[in-house]
Structure 1
Amino acid sequence: LSLIINPLKKAVQKENVENGSSGSDLAIAHRNARRLLSLVDQLLLLRKAENDADALRLSPINVNNLSNEVYQCFVNQAKDKNINYNFRIPNHEITIIGDYEKIEISLFNLMSNAFKYTPIGGEINLTLTENDEKVFLEISDNGDGIDKKDIDVIFEKFKQINSKVSVGTGFGIGLYIVKYFVDKHKGSVSCSSEAGKGSTFKLAFLKGNSHFEDVEITNEKPQRSQLFDELIPDEIEEPISTATTSIADSDFKKTMLTDKRTVLIIDDNAEIRAYLIKLFADSYIVYSAENGEEGLKMTKKHMPDLVISDITMEEMDGLELCRRIKEDNTLSHIPVILLTASKNPETHLQGINEGADDYITKPFDDDILTARVESLLRNRHNLRTYFLDSITLKENTQKVPVEYQQMLKKCIEIVEANIHKKDFTIRTFALEMGMSHRTLYTKIKIISGQTLNAFIRSLRIRRAAMLMLTEDMNITQASTEVGFEDPKYFRQQFVKLFGMTPSEYIKKYKTSFNSDLNIIK
């Protein structure tokens, strides 16, 4: 599919440049090839879910905490769409027996749908209640709603209904998975809705465990779902031709398939914007926006490797944009260069105070600007390479600041010391590092490009690799030792990190591992 999509995209870009047209047969073919790729992704998720669904991993679940986990995933989305977003739970703790992963995925799917179909300024509520026999989770919205004739079929596999929102956005898999998982729990899912007025989805789970026959119930602390991140839609969709997005004519590869780094240029002066796009187009994939408000949205959507922004703009100026980027945990690792025509030292100081990584005065020298950009990106690349080499036990040749070397060493020591503790959380991690959650998140993102959870998972896999090389431990023993309960999931993550299976890794490095230096020769 990638080999189909890229030539199509190249042809469409060429056609746009030559003819100024974006509605041709080629554009339609490209759009539908991407849709097919998305369908394949969802089918793989469906297959994975169905294969895993028969084996329920039952344990006591704090439904208050589970609901809050899902609720928090959509807080930023609610702010962006100005949605009145409410979470209503009783003061006391509600507990059920169930498979944490599958209930979490079900709730996430319903919440994701609510946000998809609720307009800007709407309302979404998540409510947790109970009676003597059952626990109820209810998600209500005042969005598009569903026709009564369609309610009976929405939970069927691949069933889509006509909606002005849903065209081209889904494949009728999400609600099927919800019903599939809830049915496995002997629970129920229902929907009440009215077209144009909104919908309410209600999950009901039985209390106790008498409805589960011959299924083992453990007291292990439930883990966050392995499928959870896969359900979050991939929003890195490059528009083929828009007024605010420019991609180098010399390179038409999809962002996800190219080594080129991405730069977002924000300036309300169309001529300067076009000039900067041309300046960077040969070396980078370039996006552009004409004001800070639009620039912030594009930063969230495309997660560029670097942002270059003018300071004086309507809607939102560059200083405010820089502050918003640096205050957002998911964006704060992105370097920001501010451009200004002002030579006032106070403006310069204010830019630095807002977290800008560099500051350049107009008129700027092309060579200096491109050198500053390359320097910032090279430093980040060196850090990522240093991190990857350290994690995969390779000898480090990168020169990086001592503070980052020491920080990574301390991180490894803390995670390895707490691998066996089930109550080891990100909050505990931050406390032991002597940092706030936000500071730790930002530094980890800068060093590794990973979230805190992914970073900790990488360190656990690293520890497992060392155990397999130095102790007489097989793969299952090593994975269990570092907290992976599912050997299949451990193998999958190991391959993602090391580029080979655990057995291939042991065979290759068992005799060449230097335990004194913790490196492979």
Structure 2
Amino acid sequence: MRFSITLACLLFFSGANLYAVTDVLALRADSLNIHENGFALHSLHWRFHIADDTDYSNPVIADSTWTIAKTMFGSTTKPKGWTGSGWFRLWLKVDESLTGKMLAFRIGQNGASEIYLDGKKIAGAGNIGKTKAETRSERTPFKVFPFMLTDRRPHLLTVRYVNYEPAFPEYVGFQLWVGSYGQLAAGALYGLKMNTFLLASIGAQLALVLLHLTLFAFYRRQRLNLYYSLFVFSTAAVLYLRYLTVGATDPYVQRLTADLFEAGIIVVAFLAGVFLYGVSYDRLPRKRIMCIALLGSLTMLYYFWPNSIHTGATASVVEIIYFMLVVTDGMYALIKAMFRRKPRIWLIGAGMFTVVIFYLFIGSDILGLMKGNNQLIAEWMSIGLLAMPVFFSIYLALDFAGINRSLTARLHEVQELSTLNLLQETEKNRILAEHAESLEQTVAERTREVRSQAEKLREMDILKSRFMVNLTHEFRTPLSLIIGPAGLLATKAANAAERKQGELIKQNAQQLLLLINQLLDLSKLEEGKMEIVSVETDILATAAAVLKPFAGDAAQKQITIDFKCAFSRLHGAIDAGKLIMILRNLLSNAVKFSLTGGKIIVNITIEKEPENTFLLLKIEDQGIGIVNTKLPYVFDRFYQADVSDSRLNEGSGIGLALTRELVELLGGKIFIESTESVGTTVQVRLPITNLQASIGNEHFSLLPNRKLMEEGEHDNFPDEGPLLLVIEDHDQLRQFISTALGAQFRILTAPDGEKGLRLAEKHIPDLVITDLMMPGMDGYEVCNKIKELELTSHIPVLMLTARSGTDSRTKGWEVGADAYLSKPFEVAELLALTEGLIRTRIQLQERYRREEAWKPAASSLPPKELHFMDKVRNIIEAQLDNERFSIDMLCDLVALSRAQLHRKLKSTTGHSPGDLIRMVRLQQALTFLKAGETTVAEVAYKVGFGNPASFSTSFSNYFGYAPSEVKNS
């Protein structure tokens, strides 16, 4: 009997279609105890029929025509006709040992199911509704469903299973185990215990995380605490996801937690690698970290890729391979660190080795030590997994102990150094006390000396002030004797030239008198002797009278002066003399520091307060401005914001100082604002009484005379006698030099360096006389450019300067100046230097006439001029046989106008361009004739003569003998 039942079971398990009376599963006690979970009914073949309204749990209904199917199937092994629901039937019976015994079913599925025995429902999971929307899936991982069979006849086991939208499409179907109730109940209880144990393990790991995070917070340099905390936290998180996955009753929640669990394994592997790298290396290897991060990302992408052809098992294998690769590489780094003898690193290796040993020999039970007891395996694995934190804690404890010992030693050293420093500090304080006492004595002596010197300086200052006052008073007498006769000369001179010279003397003497008066005013202010004299004053008339004398200076720089006032009549009591001095000084500075072509705006307004009335003067210019760092010092005596060589910034440094003291004497205030390269605005606020004003609009402008800037510019200048170019920014001095030299030379004049340079290029003068200090382009730059230009390099330069120091002269020689003349100069000296420089140039021309034209001595010309002459000679020789080669063609090839080339060659060699072309041809003809290889006619054609007879005539006139006589001579 036992043999027949066994044979029937084997045939049933092998898939034979024996569904007659013998198509019944016979259950025996020994078959139920094969496995701790009982006998797996889902491993057998079942009868399947699609679901409809019929109750197929009724044993009366025949199933011989039903489809043979497995209860566990995926997308590739679905039962025929499966659309999401169906009935599964299996006949079974028990032997006498199980009759009347309490048995149980345990079902594993992710849909909704109902279990019937002989048509009676004994269990179920989820809810099978009439529609898809009413159906609810559910899992019962820890439930068992008891039943009892009291006889040995066949009984019908029916399972109705529904899963329209499976959470796990690859695992559709159900698993069903049968066994004794005690056996299955114990297994379910064990599962609950293991889940509870899992929570306890998670709690322990989170405690370790908190501990090591606290250690990291107190000692951030030990980053291993952070790496370990992240690693353990990720492990605890994965275990918690496992706990949720095992115990989930909702299949969709189970799917979500299962996917997160798989992703968490990849994260755990990555953080395990980071931890092992952090232990093994002093610094994390960034390339390795990036490599394992990239591999982990690819692994996760592979797992979560939609519609992927891989199965869950395949994805798990990929995850395990990634995990093993990362851990293996981390262990390799750990082993290398051991060989490098890194302190205490062997503890981490021992912890990892222990985990691996427990995993291989306990978790896998390769040696069979646990005899398949899962509970015992889980308990020993829990003990084994504690090896890593224990060893790591020991590692950190020893590391902290080492650090503590090191800190103790350092503290001892610091204490010794502190003691030594204290002794040194005591000694230093003693030395400092001695020095302080010595310094006090020295300071006392120096103080006495300074007081004595201060007293002497006060006496010297008094003497200096007295000397300046006396000296300025002495200056006034000879100035009066100069101004008086100069006035008579200007009014009673016999001719216009003498009247002009007298007026020039008078104007400059008055300017000198103004400077002397300012010095006297400063002395009076310093001694407190200057008084305020307030009188009724016409403010507008006074301002207009001050403005008009500046018309000439403004015109020289092409500056427009605009006067604006909101009143047509403005009278009041004020010190008119001091108001005039204030306005004059401010306007003088505005004109002096304005750029050419700029504008000066003078604005007068009134400001009224409850008790006082103030006159507001505002003067704006468009000049060079003042640097912010120098602005606070502009009111200091003798201070100049710019001490460069440019006359644009020339001045005495007393104008603004006197202005401020006058304003303060009158009880007013002065303000100044300036932006470099934009301009300066000065505002004066003066108290005024008895104000009488009429509303209106007073406005007038002083416009520049444009013709003054065109002085000396002539397109057709006569070519007779030496031509001089005078470059001087001071109008009167420029006119004086022109008058002094005009009797013997032709004169060109320019008010600045840029215009002078243009005139030099245009007219090619025989001599340039230039001032050193000029606005814009100074004398050094003018001289340097003249000597650099090929067109003007031969022109001698005479430099006029008020600076006669060695440095100034040396710089002039460096840029190519030919002579220096210091100011003030005598006219005879200027005339002698001019004649000497021109005479030298004429002697050089005569030398060219005497010598063979194109073979001068090497030192006869500067390099620039010699280069130019070589260039001209090469051009003429290249066109030697060209009969039509002309002066115009030569001008085109040297890129000069006809007039420029003529002046250049005449000034350099004394020959015109036509003479030079003829000379070169004739000299080259002489060379050919001396060689004796050609006839006279052939030579004539070679040197550009179209007519041999004309050539013979020119040759005879130039050399004094005929071409045919060359061989004889």
Q: Which interval holds the TM-score relative to the shorter structure? A: 0.3 to 0.5
TM-score of the two chains, using structure 2 as the length reference: 0.21
| Bigger radius of gyration among the two | 2
The structure whose RCO (Cα within 8 Å, separation 6+) is larger is 1
Bigger share in helix:
2
